[in-house]
Amino acid sequence: MRRSDRGAWPYLFLTPAIVLFTLFLAVPIGYTVYLAMRRTKVSGLGLGKGARREVFVGFDNFAAALSDAELWQGWLRVLGYGTLVLVVMLGLALVFALMLDATRVRLARFSRIAIFLPYAVPGVAATLLWGFLYLPSLSPFRAILDVDFLGATTVTYSMANVAVWGGVGFNMLVLYTALRAIPRDLYEAARLDGASELQIALRVKVPLLTPAIILTTVFSIIATIQVFTEPTTLRPLTNTISSTWSPLMKVYRDAFVTGDLYSAAATSIVIAAISLVLSFGFLRVVRNRAFGEG
């Protein structure tokens, strides 16, 4: 076989991935950018052939999206929701992973499955399940707690609870897998130096888990920014959730309720750009901090 033929084999194996990437990622992104730079222009009363036509407007749709007060109000709500979800979900995931990796653990296999199982429940089904538990007429919690779980001041916490319930298991599994990859000799050396199990967890395990914690945090930031299932599913059960509660809900409303595909496309690109900035910004801060400490 000639050298040139051998060099072509890797590209042949990459062809299916390249085709799938092009069809299902690159082309949709390109078409979204195309729509974001266009708008329907109506002539006269909008009746008759040629009265409605698509025109190029450049970055006007992006400017309109960036100046939309509803979009930024949605971002503020998601910021509060995301802060609550990230702190509680990742904190519980870390605690559970450390507990399952302890020296003496009873029912470890059952505990792993029990903690991970909520993640296997589809988001819509999980939100509906909790939604019925939140309803005043059905909730068993109302007999114990006099709280309106779908009220204006509590609905954000109720949605965060659904996200935490479903997301802890996945993040716990990632952290637990990383813990199992750490050489046990490090723990034995710490025990010989007189370290307790708590000291080993805080001073040995957690620092070595830093890459996995960063990974789960980035994934959780991206997932939180894209929150859509929980507020959309709970919205029919209460009037405290607007149709633009989150940025993605505004995109959905513009695209499929009001029929403004061009505005929805521009807003979706703005959301993607902000997601990239937040994710890479977090990575940059973490890297600079680690570099500074080193």
- Backbone φ and ψ for 260, nearest 5 degrees, come out as -95, 80
With 50 as the cut, is the pLDDT of residue 71 above it?
A: yes
Whether 154 and 147 have beta carbons less than 8 Å apart is answered as yes
Q: Residue ranges of the alpha helices (H) in the chain? A: 3-21, 27-36, 60-66, 69-100, 108-120, 123-134, 155-180, 184-192, 197-200, 206-208, 210-225, 229-234, 247-252, 261-293
| 52 DSSP β-pair partners | 42
The string of pLDDT tens digits covering residues 174-220 is 999 999 999 989 988 998 888 888 899 999 999 999 999 999 999 99
Mean pLDDT, the chain, whole residue set: 89
**Interval 14-46: pLDDT, tens:** 899 999 999 999 999 999 999 999 998 776 555
pTM over 0.75: yes
Q: Which band of pLDDT confidence, cut at 50, 70 and 90, is reported for residue 144?
A: confident
Domains for the chain: give ranges and CATH numbers: 3-57 (no CATH), 68-293 (1.10.3720.10)
